[in-house]
Structure formats: C-alpha cells, structure tokens
Structure 1
Amino acid sequence: MGKSRDVSLDIIRVLAICLVVICHVNNNTWPMVTRSFIYSLGWMGVPVFVMLTGFLMVPRRYDGIYLNKFLKRNLFPLFCAFEIWNLLYYMFYTLRNGYIGVNQTLRFVRIAFFVGDTGSAFWFMPMIIGLYLGLPIFASLVQKNDLYTRLILFCITYFSLIVCTLQQVFKSFEVRQDIKSVLEMNIFGASVWGGSIWMVYLFIGYKIHETFLSEIRIPYLLIVFF
C-alpha cells in the first residue's frame, strides 16, 4: 500500500492559492492601509509553495534510479510548461495587436532560451525550474549538516534576508546609503524578485519536516516571521 495522503498539506496549498489570488484582486478603491495589508499578505502565497517544496522534496535522497525519475517527472514537464506558456503569451499578444511584432518575436526567443526576463505573470516558472535543478545538490548539502553547510546557509540568509531588509529600512527612512547584496548566493534560483531568498524558504520547509522549528518557542518564531 502507498503512503496515506496528508490532508493538512492540501489545506496549506489551498491557503497559498487563496493568498496568490488575493494579491492579484487588490482593489484600488479600498483604503491604503487595507490595500497594503492585503497586498503584503498575498505575497506570502508563492513563498508558502516553496516551503512546501522544501518540506516534501529536500528530505529525499537524489541518487540512482530516483534521480532519473525526478528529472523525468519534474524538470522535463516544467520546461515544457514554461515553453508552452511563453508561446501562448506571444500568440495572445499577436492576436490582440493584429500583427507579428519584431520586438515581441525577439522577446519570445529570448525568454525561450532563458536569456530574457518574462516580464509577465509567469515570472515564477524560471524560478521553479532553477530551484528544481538545484534540489538534488541542495538536499545533499543540508542533509550533511556540517560546518560547510552551516556556512553556506548563513551566507544565503545574510545576503538574501538581512542585507535586503537593511536596504528597505534605509529607503523607508531616507537614509542615503548605497547598500546591496554584493555576494548574491543565487546558485540554485533565478534572477527574479527575492534572489537567493528562495533557498531560505526551501530550508525552512525542510526544517519543518525535521520538526526542528517545534523546539523553538513561539515568541521567537513570531519575531522571525515578522
């Protein structure tokens, strides 16, 4: 018999879907505070999906037959879906304008070969492909839990979370300091918003699976969440 389905994970998926939808139906007629809260809440949807990926995929061992199965069942379908959506966006643009634009055609080619940003609603596809390409390496790395692993995780967290947070705080208080992540640590992701923060989300999902976070007191978790 196969493993029983964990309904709680399905509930989390539904919640993440609702958050993504909320982010895209934000109404400009609402008060600014309401819009800001709902918009910020909605942006949690995709990170929740990535944490689910970390929960389900990182604990696995990517060797031998399973690695081949992983490539066939995950990476190849993701690549096909990405190219199909790119083609559909190009066709919709062409039909809407009634002609084939040279610039749009070149943009279609750049996206197809991963040398141009999507600039559209399927920005997350290259990010997912990048994450799945790096999953076998990332999984074997964090499962070792040695000094090198901790060093890499510290660098990923520092450059993707701490430095970027300081950057936003400086902007909010109009502090004229040019601060940015020089060492991007974006090895297994894609050039989309957040950069290497996606690695942090993967790791959090993995730690939830390993019940590590259950050992941390709730007030400390709330501080990290904030």
Structure 2
Amino acid sequence: MNYRKGTNIETSKQSRIVFLDYLRVISITMVLMVHAIEIFYLAVDRVSIKPDDEFWVNFMSSSLRACVPLFVMASGYLLVPIKEKPSVFYKKRFSRILFPFILWSILYAVVPFLFGADNFDIMQSKLIILLHNFNLESGHLWFIYMLIGIYLFLPIISPWLQITSKHFIEFYLVLWFFSSFHHYLKIVFPNGVFGEVFWNEFHSLWYFSGHLGFVVLAFFFLENLFI
C-alpha cells in the first residue's frame, strides 16, 4: 500500500486497508477472551482474585490487555492528521458514539430495576452516578470516556504532528514509554515520584502518559513505515 505522506487515510480514495481489518479482528477476539476468562479467576465476592490462580490471571490478562491500545492505534492511523475543522471533526465523531453510549448507560442502570433486581432508590442512585461516571454494571464502557478524551485532544495535537520532525516525535514517544512505568515506580516509592504529593497528583511525565501516546505511535508508523 502506498499512501502519500501526511494523507488522512480516512479521506483517501482507498476504501479498505486490509491489515487494519485483520488488526480489528485480532483485537475483538482479545476483548472477548479478556471478558470470557473473568469468571474463571474472580473469587466469590467477584472482586478479588483467587489466590491459587494469580499466575494464570496475570499471564492471560497481560497477554490480552493490548486489545484496547490496538483499537486506539487503528483510530490514530486512520484519523491523524485531521484535515477538517475541529467543529466538523467533533460533530462527526461524537454523533457516532454519544447517543449509543448514553442509551446503553441508562439501560444498564434501569433494566435491573425493571426485572426486580434493584429497588427504585438503587436505580435512582445509579442514574445520578451516570452524571459523572459509569456504574459497576456498565464498567466495560470505561473505554468510551477514554475515547472521548482522545477525540477532544486530536484537533489540538494534529497540527503539531504535521509540522514537527521525526526526531521530536521520537522524543515524545520515549517520554511516553517511560511514563508507562509510573505505576511500577509507585510500588517502590509509594509516597510519590517526580513531584507527586498528596496535594498534587500530576507528576512531571503525567502530561505524556495515557492512551494518547498510541495515537502518536500510530502516526509515527504511518509516516515512517507505510509510505
């Protein structure tokens, strides 16, 4: 596949990118496997992990948790750089995800009440929680919040990606990669690292962390590997 450097593939005349289809199939399979194995390792309280299964839980989860980052990279590969106005981009993206997201979030809060599993007060409490977060029953929709954040930031970071150099993107990716080990550093230094204290959770590399890095990584691959 030959694409002009800097072209937004979503607007390209090429209607299909075969390897991304395969990537989606692999990612979907990994998501299904992640959720399918949960019942085999959750303890009776459905929160803690069975002590005897810790090794296999860690092995399976660690092997499959790349599913969401792969989806994010596929989105970044297709969307960046953005060639349309931010208002057009926001309207197009959010019109696709917000209505189904709101609908299913409400259903997960209301349906247990309709079938007698929850009383009215519990249902009301779940609906109120939806104003600021998801409920336990809809916990698998956490990624929508992440996706909303990425969509909001894409028109901001896209102009930088278009004008910056390869080495500067590599510099960003190195810092982003290092920031991914932050939680492991917290095990060694539980009181905080890189400026963290109880009144400030934003450490030095906080601004380089998160799923946005997978978007930048996908753009880096697009510009330097698939040209």
Task: Compute the TM-score of the two structures, normalised by the length of structure 1.
Answer: 0.70
Unmatched runs of 5 consecutive residues or more in structure 1: 188-194, 215-226
Change (3 A) 1:14 1:126: same
1:122 is paired with a residue whose SS is helix
The structure-2 alpha-carbon separation of the partners of 1:86 and 1:156, relative to structure 1 and needing over 3 Å to count, comes to: farther
Query: What is the CA deviation profile of residues 3-29 of structure 1, one whole-angstrom value per residue up to 9, with x for unaligned ones?
Result: 241111000000001111111122339
Note if contact 1:163-1:179 (Cα within 8 Å) is conserved in structure 2.
no
- CA-based RMSD: 3.4
Per the alignment, do residues 129 and 177 of structure 1 end up closer, same or farther by CA in structure 2, a change over 3 Å counting?
closer
The letter of the residue matching 1:43 is R
The CA deviation at 1:204 is 0.9
Q: Deviations over 1:133-155 (max 9, x none)?
A: 11111212222327xx7699379
Report the equivalent of 1:220: none
Residue 203 of structure 1 is matched in structure 2 by 216
Alignment partner of 1:21 is 2:24:
no
Distance 1:183 1:121, change over 3 A: same
| Alpha-carbon offset, residue 92 of structure 1 | 2.1
CA distance in 1, matches of 2:173, 2:56: 35
2:162 to 126, 129, 143: 143
Q: Please tell me the residue identity of whatever aligns with 1:19.
A: M
> Which residue is 1:192 aligned to?
none
Q: Say if 1:179 and 1:90 are closer, same or farther in 2 by CA, change over 3 A.
A: same
What is the aligned-residue identity percentage?
Answer: 23
Distance 1:154 1:208 in 2: 12
- Alpha-carbon distance change, 204 to 162 in structure 1, aligned in 2, over 3 angstroms: same
Trace 1:7-156 onto structure 2 (pairs within 5 A): 7-26=18-37, 27-28=40-41, 32-63=54-85, 67-98=86-117, 100-111=119-130, 113=131, 115-119=132-136, 120-145=139-164, 153=172
- Separation in structure 2 between the aligned mates of residue 162 and residue 127 of structure 1, nearest angstrom: 19
Structure 1 SS opposite 2:191: coil
Q: CA 1:33–1:155 in structure 2 vs 1: closer, same or farther (change >3 Å)?
A: closer
2:17 maps to what in 1?
6
- Indicate how the Cα distance of structure 1 residues 183 and 32 shifts in structure 2: closer, same or farther if over 3 A, else same: closer
Q: Specify whether residues 162 and 121 from structure 1 end up closer, same or farther in structure 2 by C-alpha distance, changes over 3 A only.
A: closer
Cα-to-partner distance string for 1:52-76 (whole Å, 9 max, x where unaligned): 111111223233xxx4442232112
Q: CA deviation at 1:90?
A: 1.2
Is contact 1:13–1:49 with CA below 8 Å preserved after alignment?
yes
Segment drifting more, 119-128 vs 31-40: 31-40
CA shift at 1:86, angstroms?
A: 0.9
What are the ranges of 5 or more consecutive residues in structure 2 without an aligned counterpart?
A: 1-11, 42-49
Contact 1:58-1:138 at 8 Å conserved across structures: no
